């Protein structure tokens, strides 16, 4: 019993002094993100082999993409939940806190971005390894831009509010992946496919239209705060959301294709 207690204290000390020490938080969270992606990939493979009989009939590349999309959905659910929590349920980006909103960050917000960076590193590595089976150059460009943008705000602590506002749009990713799952499983004519298409439309409308209207409005409000900042820093923060926003173009094409399939 005493030995277990000693190991417990040693583990807590390791977490406190090394893994969760402020300078190491970004790098630790990136490694955690990579490990979690591997776990999500394997979990999707195991779960699918047990509960979906057609999984074993898929080609090797189809199974890899199937598992990859399961990993993608897990990341999307995680980062959307964290984004909603930080933006709407905490005081980190609240108007009650003094100071420019563009320079606020916390250990939690930085760690979550690190997990997201870990996901993009993992997914980009898979795309390169199996190129072009999991996507062409547009996927490489999309992931590279997203990776650089999120890594910058993770390491600098700048623009995290805008980043999390944009990351809320990841709420459409699970629906897009489910559309592919149903299509691959031969269920394109099923009611589940139709319902998923409707949910995709609603999620896209809220996360890609209404949310970005609110984001642009907030951007104009923050402009007044940035006038009081250093000129170079202000310009950098104001132009922050441009590269990260480009990651959504690819999913918008998928969304438009789904409307065509649903005759909406």
- Enclosing domain of residue 197: 26-262
Interval 202-216: pLDDT, tens: 999 988 788 777 766
**Is 183 part of any domain?**
yes
Interval 37-81: pLDDT, tens: 999 999 999 999 999 999 999 999 999 999 999 999 999 999 999
**Is 245 part of any domain?**
yes
**Is 179 part of any domain?**
yes
Per-residue confidence (pLDDT) for residue 111, from 0 to 100:
95
**Is 96 part of any domain?**
yes
Per-residue confidence (pLDDT) for residue 99, from 0 to 100:
81
**Is 127 part of any domain?**
yes
Q: What is the number of domains present in the chain?
A: 1
Which segment of 49-63, 83-97, 204-218, 245-259 scores lowest on mean pLDDT? 245-259
Query: Does residue 238 surpass a pLDDT of 60?
Result: no
**Is 12 part of any domain?**
no
178-207 mean pLDDT: 94
pTM (predicted TM-score): 0.78
**Is 1 part of any domain?**
no
**Is 38 part of any domain?**
yes
10 Å CB burial of residue 115 (0-12, 13-18, 19+) is buried
Per-residue confidence (pLDDT) for residue 235, from 0 to 100:
47
Confidence of residue 182 (pLDDT cuts 50, 70, 90): very high
Confidence of residue 98 (pLDDT cuts 50, 70, 90): confident
């Amino acid at each position: 019993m005493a030995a277990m207690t000693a190991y417990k204290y040693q583990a807590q000390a390791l977490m406190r002094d090394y893994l969760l020490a402020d300078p190491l938080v970004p790098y630790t969270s990136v490694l955690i993100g990579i490990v979690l992606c591997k776990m999500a990939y394997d979990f999707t493979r195991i779960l699918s082999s047990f509960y979906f009989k057609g999984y074993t009939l898929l080609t090797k590349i189809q199974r890899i993409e199937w598992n990859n999309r399961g990993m993608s959905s897990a990341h999307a659910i995680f980062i959307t939940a964290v984004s909603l929590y930080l933006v709407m349920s905490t005081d980190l980006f609240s108007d009650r806190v003094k100071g420019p909103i563009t320079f606020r960050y916390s250990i939690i917000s930085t760690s979550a971005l690190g997990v997201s960076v870990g996901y993009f590193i993992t997914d980009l590595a898979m795309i390169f390894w199996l190129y072009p089976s999991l996507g062409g150059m547009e996927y490489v460009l999309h992931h590279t831009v997203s990776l650089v943008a999120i890594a910058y705000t993770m390491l600098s602590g700048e623009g995290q509010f805008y980043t999390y506002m944009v990351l809320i749009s990841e709420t459409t990713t699970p629906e897009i992946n489910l559309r592919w799952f149903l299509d691959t499983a031969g269920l394109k004519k099923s009611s589940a496919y139709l319902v998923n298409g409707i949910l995709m439309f609603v999620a896209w409308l809220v996360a890609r239209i209404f949310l970005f209207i609110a984001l642009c409005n907030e951007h104009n409000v923050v402009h007044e705060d940035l006038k009081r900042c250093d000129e170079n820093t202000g310009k950098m923060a104001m132009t922050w959301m441009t590269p990260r926003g480009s990651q959504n173009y690819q999913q918008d094409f998928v969304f438009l294709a789904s409307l065509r399939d649903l005759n909406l």
